[in-house]
Amino acid sequence: MAVRDPAMTDVARLAGVSHQTVSRVLNGHPNVREQTRLRVQAAIAELGYRPNRAARALVTGRSQVIGVVAQNTTLYGPASLLAALEQTAAESGFAVSVGSVRDLDHRSISAVVERHLAHRVAGIVVIAPVESAGEALERLPKDVPLVTVDGDPHRPMPLVTVDQAAGARAATQHLLDAGHRTVWHVSGPSDWFDSAGRIEGWREALTSAGAEIPPLVPADWSAAAGYRCGQMLARMPDVTAVFTANDHLALGVLRALHEHGRRVPDDISVVGFDDVPEAAYFIPPLTTVRPDFGAVARASLEMLLTQIESVSGGALRRTIAPTLVARRSVAPPPRR
């Protein structure tokens, strides 16, 4: 007689829990006590249990796949978020289907969401860092489990985001604490929520310190834009501290300052945002702000699973604090 494969009920019996609890552990649900989770995982390992994903899809009407909508970009922040989401989903037993769009507008987002729904995804995560995505998301069906990442903080939708303002305040305060009278800011694109949050935090830090708020220096996210802005700032002898909205902008600023003979950090201090892998190898190594993309991905998945499991009382908003990484691009201002 053939020996049957272990079933979820066998795991539940061995662990001394209900099969619903086993299901929650398999799905990475947050509302399971750690001791219970470990007991279930031990029973799974002992029995060699493997969940039948095809059968589960037939029973629930949904697959073990999470649909992701993301802009087709190589920018470090969105790309890192996507990679973290894929890893976190895999650790919780889900696969990820990514729908990339050129523009985050209503037509593009709706088309990708419809494709995801046609494949019966368990839920959808939209990386929506620009203003154009807000209206499109509000038009989506209300019964779809959905979480936005880095979306519009003013819309009443489930949202997980990096605390951009807190990161900018920390960067600006770090420069003020070094003795600089004020801090110039090279911003990102005006339609990005990340950019708006970093401008807000920069202004808040200067206002709290009673420091003068210099004119904003607008840019995009590229090193080329940072270089152009840096050429202007390098010609201004009163500029001693610059906070850039990302590390690629900082790289361009550093190049321009070097070409004009302005030493970093002896003459001008520079702080970036994102902590790209290369930031530690800039000349000088760049002080920057590090978002916790892994924590954003985990919070997004937890929020989505709460909706999928129809558990009431879940949070509609999670804000993840970034960390200042101090290196060697900040020093006290030069003596006049």
Return the number of other C-beta atoms located less than 10 Å from residue 137's C-beta: 22
- The model carries a pTM of 0.80
- At the second CATH level, the architecture of 8-51 is Orthogonal Bundle (1.10)
pLDDT of residue 61: 53
172 to 13, 195, 292: CA distances (angstroms)? 56, 15, 19
pLDDT of residue 55: 47
CA atoms of 300 and 28, how far apart (whole Å): 12
pLDDT of residue 58: 41
Per-domain residue ranges for the chain?
8-51, 60-161+293-321, 164-291
Q: What is the DSSP letter of 94?
A: -
* CATH domain 60-161+293-321 topology: Rossmann fold (3.40.50)
CA atoms of 125 and 116, how far apart (whole Å): 11
Expressed in angstroms, the distance from the first to the final Cα of the chain is 91
How buried is residue 224: exposed, middle or buried, by Cβ count under 10 Å (0-12/13-18/19+)? middle
CA atoms of 10 and 236, how far apart (whole Å): 73
Residue range 164-291, CATH number: 3.40.50.2300
Residue 135 has phi, psi (to 5 degrees) of -65, -40
pLDDT of residue 155: 84
- Structural tokens at position 232: 């202007």
- Among 49, 45, 17, CA closest to 33: 17
Domains 60-161+293-321 and 164-291 share a fold: yes
- Among 140, 131, 138, CA closest to 111: 140
pLDDT of residue 312: 53
- Contact of 87 with 44, CB cutoff 8 Å: no
Q: Tens-digit pLDDT profile for the chain (336 aa)?
A: 445 678 778 888 999 998 778 878 876 677 788 899 899 989 888 888 866 544 454 445 557 899 999 988 888 988 899 899 999 888 888 889 999 888 888 788 888 888 888 888 888 999 988 888 877 787 777 778 899 999 888 888 899 999 999 999 999 999 999 999 999 999 999 999 999 999 999 999 999 999 999 999 999 999 999 999 999 999 999 999 999 999 999 999 999 999 999 999 999 999 999 999 999 999 999 999 999 999 999 999 989 888 887 655 556 899 999 999 999 999 999 986
Q: What amino acid occupies position 177?
A: D
- Structural tokens at position 224: 């080329």
Return the number of other C-beta atoms located less than 10 Å from residue 50's C-beta: 9
